[in-house]
Amino acid sequence: MKRKKFIQTSAVAGIGAALMPNALMAEFSSKKSISIGFIGTGLRGQWLLDLAAKRKDVNIPAICDIDETMIRKAMKILKRNGRKEPQVYQNGDEDFNNLVNRDDLDGVIIATPWEWHAAMALAAMKAGKHVGTEVPAALSVKDCWSLVNASEQNRKFCMIMENVCYRRDVMAVLNMVRKGLLGELIHLQGGYQHDLREVKFNDGKQPYGGGVEFGKNGYSESKWRTNHSIERNGDLYPTHGVGPISSMLNINRGNRFEYITSTATQSRGLHNYILKHAGKDHPNAKVKFKLGDIVTSVIKCANGQTVVLSHDTNSPRPYSLNFRVQGTNGIWMRDNNSIYIEDVSHKPHYWEPFDSYQKKYDHPLWKAFSNDAEGAGHGGIDFFIMRAFIESIKRKVNPPIDVYDAVSMSVISPLSEESIENGSKPIKFPDFTNGKWKQNKPIFGLNDEY
């Protein structure tokens, strides 16, 4: 794939700076191949491992997981892709430290339970490895700061693997936003509205449903994710919704999130699910869930916009990321695949289908790689996120979704918990860029390569 021209946009200037915004970019040369270690080879880790193993420019000398079954599945994936057996680190919770301290790795992918991401990313950066962490990057404000400091001090990047940023429709809308079609943005919505009841509970043998077990009796995410619904009340999974919104709003690059207010409903769905599937005498019927079924947050941005995020994972409902992007000239809404732009849409006050806009404003990345992305997972977006991680290491450039994005997205969880705990009080976002957001230039989706 030849280097093509960057997209010309009216909203974005200083492309050179966008590619090399900080000290990480001491040199710009590309490596032919790189070596990556994998920490966490559960369901998501296996998927990412398979994508990486399909690339000729990636070696995978080491993997780590504490679960023998998951390691075995990962080994099968590597074998199927014609890969040599990697060294396996499976001696308990802290064995990942031995993986990150190897001297033959350029980067590490982390796909473990949420509570491990920050510690693993920190250890990897301190050991001189670039990081690609699954979402969210951290669970506390303190850990967010530690990631920023470690990335800056060790000059290693910490990319959050927020694949939804690469959705084809979202990237077409980003294109339209940057070309000014929607006017000045004023209000955006996003969220994680996904009935996860059969993920939070299963029979301990397979990942989806079949029982009401979790924790040590569960399988895959029910082993750990369900506990977050018992112990926490907030937007527990904000990054899929807020990732695309962040790039449209130029968060950390000319704009920033200022404060958040969050409000939670009562908690019903998980308890009702247990009653329905196992009856009131099952021991899990006594479990008290702290997480409200629907958590709604409003974020105010420095440039005036509002963002509404929803977290809705405990109720029967179709999947939706709740996207709405509204500017002074028009509005896109994902759920009815519709758009309206003043003086452009044929009939005032009526929605029109998004399809012709999707075609016209398809992002150059998608035009270039749609064949490769096919079958790569979640409609192709996993191809792009993995590619961005690999290409950033190879080219020695800052990744398109960097540590500042990782923490400004992830910190929403602890801030929303604090807001709910305090009667929906507004909570200020820390400025993780230390004022650099005023000068930083946008970096996501600005070229047709990664």
Ligand X SMILES: NC(=O)c1ccc[n+]([C@@H]2O[C@H](COP(=O)([O-])OP(=O)(O)OC[C@H]3O[C@@H](n4cnc5c(N)ncnc54)[C@H](O)[C@@H]3O)[C@@H](O)[C@H]2O)c1
Residues that bind ligand X (CB under 6 A): 39-45, 64-67, 70, 93, 96, 111-114, 116, 134-135, 163, 220-221, 223, 378
Write the CA distances from 436 to 244, 305, 441, integer angstroms.
21, 20, 10
Nearest approach, Cβ of residue 260 and ligand X (Å)? 21
Nearest approach, Cβ of residue 201 and ligand X (Å)? 14
Write the CA distances from 142 to 86, 97, 145, 149, integer angstroms.
34, 21, 5, 11
Nearest approach, Cβ of residue 71 and ligand X (Å)? 8
Contact 67, 134 (CB under 8 A): no
363-366: Cβ within 8 A, 24+ apart: 363/7, 363/168, 363/171, 363/172, 363/174, 363/175, 363/445, 363/448, 364/4, 364/7, 364/447, 364/448, 365/166, 365/171, 365/445, 365/447, 365/448, 365/449, 365/450, 366/168, 366/171, 366/172
Q: How far apart are CA 25 and CA 85, in angstroms?
A: 33
Nearest approach, Cβ of residue 322 and ligand X (Å)? 16
Tokens of 80: 């199927």
Nearest approach, Cβ of residue 111 and ligand X (Å)? 4
CB of 113 or CB of 430, closer to ligand X? 113
CB of 93 or CB of 342, closer to ligand X? 93
Nearest approach, Cβ of residue 47 and ligand X (Å)? 8
Nearest approach, Cβ of residue 365 and ligand X (Å)? 18
Instruction: Kindly report the length of the chain.
Output: 450
Tokens of 163: 């694949």
Nearest approach, Cβ of residue 57 and ligand X (Å)? 22
Q: How far apart are CA 140 and CA 76, in angstroms?
A: 36
**Across the strands, what pairs with 64?**
39, 89
Q: How far apart are CA 318 and CA 75, in angstroms?
A: 34
Look at the block and give the residue holding tokens 């990150």. Answer: 100
CB of 113 or CB of 210, closer to ligand X? 113
Percent helix, percent strand, percent coil in the chain, to nearest 5: 40, 20, 45
Tokens of 84: 């040599």
Nearest approach, Cβ of residue 378 and ligand X (Å)? 6
Q: Using alpha carbons, select from 343, 379, 305, 339 the residue that is nearest to residue 176.
A: 339
- DSSP string covering 243-298: HHHHHHHTBTTTB-EEEEEEEE----HHHHHHHHHH-TTSGGGGPPP-S-SEEEEE
CB of 20 or CB of 66, closer to ligand X? 66
Q: What are phi and psi of 376, to 5 degrees?
A: -80, 0
Nearest approach, Cβ of residue 419 and ligand X (Å)? 22
Q: Using alpha carbons, select from 279, 282, 275, 284 the residue that is nearest to residue 226.
A: 284
CB of 41 or CB of 314, closer to ligand X? 41
CB of 41 or CB of 267, closer to ligand X? 41
Look at the block and give the residue holding tokens 């074998």. Answer: 79
CB of 37 or CB of 327, closer to ligand X? 37
Residue of closest CB approach to ligand X: 42
CB of 194 or CB of 277, closer to ligand X? 194
Nearest approach, Cβ of residue 217 and ligand X (Å)? 14
Write the CA distances from 182 to 1, 11, 30, 327, 365, integer angstroms.
32, 12, 37, 5, 21
Contacts of 98 (CB under 8 A, 6+ apart): 89
CB of 195 or CB of 352, closer to ligand X? 195
CB of 24 or CB of 321, closer to ligand X? 321
CB of 114 or CB of 404, closer to ligand X? 114
